[in-house]
Amino acid sequence: MSSRVRERRGSLYPFASIDPARTAHVVVDLQNGFMAPGAVAEIATAREIVSNVNRISAALRAAGGLVAYIQNTFDDEAVAGWPVFFDHFCSPQRRAAMIEAFTPGNWQHALYPELEVLPADLVVRKRRFGAFIQGSSDLHAQLQARGIDTVIVTGTASNVCCESTARDAMMLNYKVFFVADGNATHTDDEQDATLTAMANIFADVSDTAAVVALIGRAAAAMPQAAE
């Protein structure tokens, strides 16, 4: 895979630098319903990435960037607007359980408590898998209003909501970083398939240490850092 990526674009890592002030860390669906033991859509490995997610958020905030927490939301608007999913990709029992869990006000809809969420962070509800697709959320409008041109994607599930969000972001002309150890899903095979697809054409696939270092170098180069 790496040889094909190099042939396509000349480098495994397409973005040599980052502008923190124009960057958003988009944290996808790290909610109790996906994170808590025994939750309706538990992905146990997602609990292992929380420290990496918090580390990226802290570094980006300190450098003047934005953190946006995305909440999977299955309210009346989502159910009415997306019948193909709810009527054909969920059993009746699963449909009822998922709608109950991800309706605002349910504890499973809430962000996972070990995330470091600050008052200045955005919290955005989405009603499709990807945060950027029409009918899902107003994330794109909020980022554009703030001059954001780069997104760092972390969260769960890597191969569903995170991948959908990253693909659409790139096609909306955002520079996308997809964090290998900041995204989680059910199996290694699913994780590897997503990382391959992302690296092949959609994103800069880096790990937490590399992303934090890139932010740090950008912050050190800021004029105020030299004063």
Active-site amino acid positions: 29, 126, 161
State the SS3 of the chain.
Answer: CHHHHHHHHCCCCCCCCCCHHHEEEEEECCEHHHHCCCCCCCCHHHHHHHHHHHHHHHHHHHCCCEEEEEEECCCHHHHHHCHHHHHHCCCHHHHHHHHHHCCCCCHHHCECCCCCCCCCCEEEEECCCCCCCCCCCCHHHHHHHCCCCEEEEEEECHHHHHHHHHHHHHHCCCEEEEEEEEEECCCHHHHHHHHHHHHHHHCEEECHHHHHHHHHHHHHHCHHHHC
> What backbone phi and psi angles, to 5 degrees, belong to 111?
-65, 145
